[in-house]
Amino acid sequence: MRTPALLLAALLMSLTALPLKAAEGTVLITGANRGIGLALAREFTEAGFEVIGTARKPNKATELKATGARVVQLDVTDDASVAAMAKTLEGVAIDIVINNAGVALDRGRELADLDMGAIERTFAVNTMGPIRVMAALYPNVKAGDRKLFANISSMMGSMEMNTWGCCLGYRASKAALNSASKTLAVDIGKKGMTFVVFHPGYVQTDMNEGQGNITPAQSAAGLTKVIAGLNAKDNGKFYDWQGKELPW
């Protein structure tokens, strides 16, 4: 008969042999090396999630690495980069994907002032980027428990809330992301997947040259709480960073 000490030792050995998994699940955040993305990485880590953060230049993502996140290279505009990320994460179950990477490159109001190159680049990052990521990581999210795609959009992507114009490319790219997310919610929601879009607030980031009325940390704290509490009933919804539903 084994002694209590031997039984305890055997139990401890069996526990250490088990694969480690975060209690709350795994979340992948694109554009996590700065701004809202970095703040989200910190918040989700503190909330008990295992975090995978992407960056175009991982060797420079020192603050992201400091959070304890696993850092993966990703340029959302590059098919090869997206494919390489998917290969790296093959077989990894991901509960939540947060498409956060985004740009705001155009601010003109006159047709004569439009920079078509900037608008194309904006669509490449803000619209096509999240679609590429969702397609590439669909198997990973399908294997996760929460099965959630949370896309960081903007109230500027809302048709109903567009009362002051400006930033044609940015607005249109976010409206297109909203439309794509809603379409996927209808098409794939019936398979148990959940797609939700978010307005992160008017946040003080490099994107708007530090303007805004809330900090990245405040936005991320609100978003983390709302995203972590989502379920299938939220499929196809548009929320702000505090959980208020917004009009399309």
- Provide the CA 67 distance to its chain's centre, in angstroms: 16
Token duo for residue 224? 């983390």
Is 174 designated active site?
yes
Token duo for residue 92? 């990894």
Selecting among 147, 174, 182, 237, the annotated active-site residue is 174
Is 170 designated active site?
yes
- Residues with Cβ within 8 Å of 86's Cβ and at least 6 positions away in sequence, in order, are 136, 137, 140
Q: Strand 70-73 relative to strand 50-55: parallel, antiparallel, unpaired?
A: parallel
Selecting among 57, 142, 170, 190, the annotated active-site residue is 170
- Residues with Cβ within 8 Å of 193's Cβ and at least 6 positions away in sequence, in order, are 141, 142, 147, 148, 149, 184, 235
Q: Which residues are catalytic?
A: 170, 174
